Structure 1
Amino acid sequence: WGYKLLQQLASDDVPRNLLHCDLINRNVLVDGAKLSGVFDWGCSIYGDHLYELAWFEFWAPWMPQLDIAYLREALAQRWREVGYAPHNQAARLATCYLHIGLDHLAYNAYTGDWETLKATARQMHLLVKE
């Protein structure tokens, strides 16, 4: 169901940016409250900027230190400040969740990590309502 839905939702009509796609604590350097460096760009892609938000939301159950509500509010506040409103946000996020989930289903099948594969499938179902 995931790949079929991804094919239906995917659109070329989205803004594209350079994305890191692995902003975990070991890849981000901060100085006080300011971001001062981002390392390890091996997972980077060029695509919809909502992918970074989707990445955090998708993996939040595995990273309880993430404050997703705070992140969403901070993004919404920043978007209001600059007069930006992401068009088709729900569909774009669903597309990102599907891509992240399907990619990691394949990876976990390849490595034989069936428990993580099942948990990833559950998370994909939870985030993407058909």
Structure 2
Amino acid sequence: MALHAELVRYLDWCPEERCLLHGDFGFSNALTKVDRLSGILDWGLSLYGDPVYDVARMNFWAEAMPAGHIDWLSAFTEYRHTHNLPPFENLSLRLHCYELYHGLWHARYCALTNQPRGIGWALHKAEAAAVALRAATRSL
């Protein structure tokens, strides 16, 4: 419950603006042709929200993926810079807030499906996001 209360405290850092999100983006939903992305599949979990939400989800799951950890935040930042797109305000805070959300959501899912090891892993990830949020907001 303490992590949920912490999540609620940080929601003010997340913007109200909304755009189309995939909701479940990852390598298994991407089609490529040579070295370019050519399509995105499986929009069954799509939603409207902050685009940082999708990046946070990919970052949250990165270490569990077969390709190993990818620094999605740096890739996202570099992409926006390369294409002359403005940086996102409070990007790191938003990312960690959504990672905290993903950790709590997955812990709940594991509890409902009787996966105790998954609960511990998800809560560990959620706590890491909360620690990052505390550190980032202390300097503000």
Bigger relative contact order, structure 1 or 2, given CA contacts below 8 A and separation 6+?
1
d(CA) in 2 for partners of 1:25 and 1:108?
Answer: 23
Question: TM-score with structure 2 length normalisation?
Answer: 0.81
Native 8 Å contact 2:81 2:87 kept in 1: yes
d(CA) in 2 for partners of 1:119 and 1:28?
Answer: 26
Q: How many residues align?
A: 129
% of aligned pairs identical?
Answer: 29
Q: Give the corresponding residue for 1:60.
A: 62
d(CA) in 2 for partners of 1:64 and 1:127?
Answer: 22
After TM superposition, the runs of 4+ consecutive aligned structure 1 residues lying more than 4 A away are: none
Provide structure 1 residue ranges, at least 5 long, that are not aligned to the other structure: none
1:25-49 per-position Cα deviation (integer Å, ceiling 9, x unaligned): 3211111111111111111121111
Provide structure 2 residue ranges, at least 5 long, that are not aligned to the other structure: 135-140
1:44-100 per-position Cα deviation (integer Å, ceiling 9, x unaligned): 12111111111111112211514523x433322232241411111122112211221
Native 8 Å contact 2:59 2:73 kept in 1: no
Residue type matched to 2:54 in 1? E
Residue 44 of structure 1: which of 46, 62, 67 is its match? Answer: 46
d(CA) in 1 for partners of 2:124 and 2:74?
Answer: 25
| RMSD across aligned positions (CA) | 1.9
